[in-house]
Amino acid sequence: MLSKTLFALAAACLAGQTVAGPHHGHGLQHAHEKRAIVTELVTVTNWVTVTVGGSQTKKVFFSRTRKVRPTPTSISTSTTAAVASVAPVPPPPSPEVAPVPTTIVTQVRPVSDIPESIAPIEAPKSEPVVQPPPAPITTEAPVVEVPPPPAPAASTKAAEPAPAPAPAPDTGSKSSIAFKRGLAYNNKNFLQRFLNSGTKIGWTYSWGQRDDSGVNIPFVPTLWGLKLDFAQTWPANAQEAINKGSPALFSFNEPDHASQSNLSPQLAAQKHIELMNPFAGKARIASPSITNSGNPGEGIEWLKQFFEACSGKCAVDFVNIHIYGFDTATFLSHLVKVHELFGKPVWITEFAFGGSESEINSQLTTVLTALENDSKYSFVEHYAYFMAEDGMLVKGNSLSTYGNTYAYGA
């Protein structure tokens, strides 16, 4: 019975259903987007506690297969889902250890008509001698008075450039974000505990297009992909985010990965020009985010093909990358490689380490120290650990050891 329930629960998630409570904040539109993202974003290996019939509980191991990421057994999540009734489904071969497809919320602008000269008034023939004097007086008087009107015209033109700086709320400058560190989240209720006195968190993102964080730090919206109505809702949502102070815009999420936005470099380039370029100069524009896969056509190789397809036409201010499964030395050398290949600043919008909580904390401390203090990595503008979620940066009602380090340490 348990295995049947789990199998059906996974099928329900993949069908776009949700086992969590209703999403509140920005209406059905936003909830719709978030559910779609939820069904796509499965990034780590986890243990999930499933409750069946309100009493029986069992821990089930599942994992998302990222082609280049070794299966980390240390990044864990504790999630509880209640199922009222589920139609019988044939059980999987091994309910105790078989991977159960599931979904984690990892879930884009008077010159008056003045005669050039005023003709002299012709004097009456009876007074021929009077004609010369009036001529110079009549013609010079206008010449002296002509400059004043142009003056207002010139001052009017001088005032026109003033609106030009208006687009210059270039919210995309690095200085618009107080700190390099950001929070990737799906559950906004976890955020505030990272933002107390002494925090080093400066921005947030949720893989979604609209800010539902409820916290007073910059939010970065994500176009994510071409599924559902993401492309249709992006122009309005991206502009709304910019109007509210968003410093940057994220493009497609892991188009090099089959289970994510899954786009060819050529199509991604075409759609990036269409959907991201209009915001150039209004906010900083990211490249599509890539995995650290070394497989053919993925990771760095995919991004090379993307820039080739762009032919210099894609608005890209920084390269967006994700890193999993690397030790600290390989992690840092990978950053240097990306920067040298593409010659642009780098944002790391997903990364994580494996091991025990203390081992993760040690690795994270090493990387944070390098990113914050070593000039060799000054090209890394911002980064976000995966993620503000229970079992990761959060542990129960407080932050995990490395969650506390991420928010307030190193």
d(CA 393, CA 405): 9
The CA–CA distances, whole Å, from 192 to 189, 216, 256, 357 equal 7, 10, 33, 22
pLDDT at 393 over 80: yes
Closest by CA to 57, choosing from 78, 88, 72, 75, is 78
Helix segments in 64-183, DSSP class H: 134-145, 150-159
| Cβ atoms of residues 321 and 348 within 8 Å | yes
174-408 CATH choice from 3.60.60.10, 3.40.50.700, 3.20.20.80, 3.40.50.720: 3.20.20.80
d(CA 19, CA 40): 15
d(CA 195, CA 199): 5
Helix segments in 131-264, DSSP class H: 134-145, 150-159, 230-243
d(CA 249, CA 219): 9
How is the chain split into domains, by residue range?
A: 2-83, 174-408
Query: Residue 408, SS3?
Result: helix
Q: What is the mean pLDDT of residues 302-308?
A: 98
In what helix (H) or strand (E) does residue 269 lie, and over which residues does it extend?
helix 265-275
DSSP assigned state of 19: S
Note the pLDDT tens digit of each residue in 261-271.
999 999 999 99
pLDDT range class, residue 117, cuts 50, 70, 90: very low
Residue 24 C-alpha from the chain's centroid? 21
Note the pLDDT tens digit of each residue in 317-362.
999 999 999 999 999 999 999 999 999 999 999 999 999 999 999 9
d(CA 380, CA 224): 22
Average pLDDT, the chain: 72
d(CA 168, CA 248): 14
pLDDT value, residue 318: 98
Q: Which of 12-16, 155-159, 305-309 reaches the highest mean pLDDT? A: 305-309
Torsion of CA 399, 400, 403, 404, to 10 degrees: 70
pLDDT value, residue 258: 97
Closest by CA to 402, choosing from 347, 370, 358, is 358
Closest by CA to 244, choosing from 26, 10, 35, 408, is 26
Torsion of CA 353, 356, 360, 362, to 10 degrees: -140
d(CA 145, CA 126): 31
Note the pLDDT tens digit of each residue in 204-240.
999 999 999 999 999 999 999 999 999 999 999 999 9
pLDDT at 139 over 50: no
| Cβ atoms of residues 352 and 44 within 8 Å | yes
Q: Which residue has the tokens 């107390």?
A: 196
Query: Residue 380, SS3?
Result: strand
pLDDT at 6 over 80: no
pLDDT value, residue 28: 30
Q: What is the mean pLDDT of residues 235-246?
A: 97
Q: Is 322 exposed, middle or buried (0-12, 13-18, 19+ CB in 10 A)?
A: buried
d(CA 30, CA 61): 30
d(CA 45, CA 42): 9
pLDDT range class, residue 105, cuts 50, 70, 90: very low
Q: Which residue has the higher pLDDT, 371 or 72?
A: 371
| Three-point CA angle 406, 194, 318, nearest 5° | 60
pLDDT at 370 over 90: yes
Phi-psi region of 299 (alpha: psi -120 to 50; beta: other; left: phi over 0): left
Q: Which residue has the higher pLDDT, 123 or 220?
A: 220
pLDDT range class, residue 176, cuts 50, 70, 90: confident
Note the pLDDT tens digit of each residue in 64-95.
333 333 333 344 333 333 333 334 444 444 44
